[in-house]
Amino acid sequence: MTPGEGWDPAAFKARVDEVLQRYVAREADRFAAVDPLLAPVALQLEAAVAHGKRLRAAFCYWGWRAVGQPDSDALVRAAASMELVHAAAVTHDDLIDDSPLRHGRPTAHVALRTAVRGPRGGQDAAKSLAMLTGDLLMALAGDLFATSGLPAAYLTRARPLWLLMARELIAGECLEILRTGARPDVAQSLKVIRYKTAKYTVEQPLLIGGALAGAGRPLREGYSAYGLPLGEAFQLRDDLLGLFGATRDTGKANADDLRGHRPTALLAETWRLAGDDERELLDSLLGRSDLGRDGVDAVREVMRDLGTPDRIEDMISARVGEALDTLHALDVPAHAATALTALAHSAAVRPS
């Protein structure tokens, strides 16, 4: 993306990728220099930022630009730190869920099994290494933000939002753990979505970008009113793709949410609509570690028969509409409104 008013998502992604790859490669080298045994962990630091659409960085960037601030390389570095927060979150999330794949590659706790010597405790040790990898990624996120090159006064305005983002993200993860295996409930599933994903994917990056730029209260409130429903739409789409999308596109295993009996809105809405026979079938399949393709297909068939995927699509559309209605009422530059409209569609309508 050339500095100015235009919005080129691919060019912006390239700018963020360059920041992340240079920064994380340097930090990975410093980490591995402590001892050669650390090399596999250092590789996972770099693998954690090798993929991604960079939506969180984009929302932070446009949270800044919508205030009227110009393009800034320092701001792009600060925005890139949002992607390190995401990398830390998914490293921990994959570990908690024992997910085998991310972007079509082994997740950190799976890849690190080869780094553990001896036959005893290999899986547990690899999981511990992955947990620490996620912790380091979160620390690196804060460092990249603080050393972005923005004035100290700007960074001070945004600092309280970092604690808020971490608190709400971890609260969402904890709620998901505590509700895993519980009787499906739509309202509770949506609460998990809001805190685990919606806030740190859209709302908080926007608010951080706005705080850096000195956004006033009306605009900050508008960012939340736009960001929360859009973030929920993002995760609702993720739930649909997780079960009905092709693994070659999503890079994830289809059965993960069913084997883990996770509190997704897709499952909760299915349960709400299901009759006794359908609930009995779901009870026999959900949470089974040995759930195979036939079991996954059986759950899909129940969902299709009940029309659940269409209902989730309606929920996504309603939330995107709510976000865009809010955006169109905000007093922001035309180029920012155009970019945030495009980002809304990118977040909610995607193949992976």
Q: DSSP readout, 22-37? A: HHHHHHHHHHHTT-GG
Confidence tier at 141 by pLDDT (50, 70, 90)? very high
Q: What is the predicted pLDDT for the residue at 119? A: 56
Q: What is the predicted pLDDT for the residue at 252? A: 67
Q: What is the predicted pLDDT for the residue at 101? A: 82
Cα angle for residues 305, 256, 200 (degrees, 5° grid): 100
Q: What is the predicted pLDDT for the residue at 115? A: 85
Q: What DSSP letter does each residue of 37-87 carry, written as one string?
A: GGHHHHHHHHHTTS----HHHHHHHHHHHTTTPPP-HHHHHHHHHHHHHHH
- Domain boundaries of the chain, sorted by first residue: 9-348
Q: What is the pTM of this model?
A: 0.94
Q: Quick check: helix, strand or coil at residue 102?
A: strand
Q: Does the pLDDT value for residue 226 go beyond 70?
A: yes
Between CA 25 and CA 29 the distance in angstroms is 6
Confidence tier at 349 by pLDDT (50, 70, 90)? confident
Q: What is the predicted pLDDT for the residue at 198? A: 94
The domain 9-348 having CATH identifier 1.10.600.10: the answer here is yes
Between CA 148 and CA 141 the distance in angstroms is 11
**Token duo for residue 246:** 């092709």
Q: Does the pLDDT value for residue 283 go beyond 70?
A: yes
Cα angle for residues 265, 266, 272 (degrees, 5° grid): 80
Q: What is the predicted pLDDT for the residue at 260? A: 85
Q: Each residue of 56-102: pLDDT tens digit?
A: 999 999 999 999 999 999 999 999 999 999 999 999 999 998 888 88
Q: What is the predicted pLDDT for the residue at 251? A: 66
Q: What is the predicted pLDDT for the residue at 117? A: 72
Q: What is the predicted pLDDT for the residue at 3? A: 42
Determine if residue 43 is left, alpha or beta; phi over 0 gives left, psi from -120 to 50 gives alpha, anything else beta.
alpha
Confidence tier at 130 by pLDDT (50, 70, 90)? very high
Question: Do residues 130 and 112 lie in contact, with contact meaning Cβ atoms separated by under 8 Å?
Answer: yes
Among residues 223, 63, 54, the alpha carbon closest in space to that of 154 is found at: 63
**Count of CB atoms situated within 10 Å of the CB of 173:** 18
Q: Each residue of 199-219: pLDDT tens digit?
A: 999 999 999 999 999 999 999
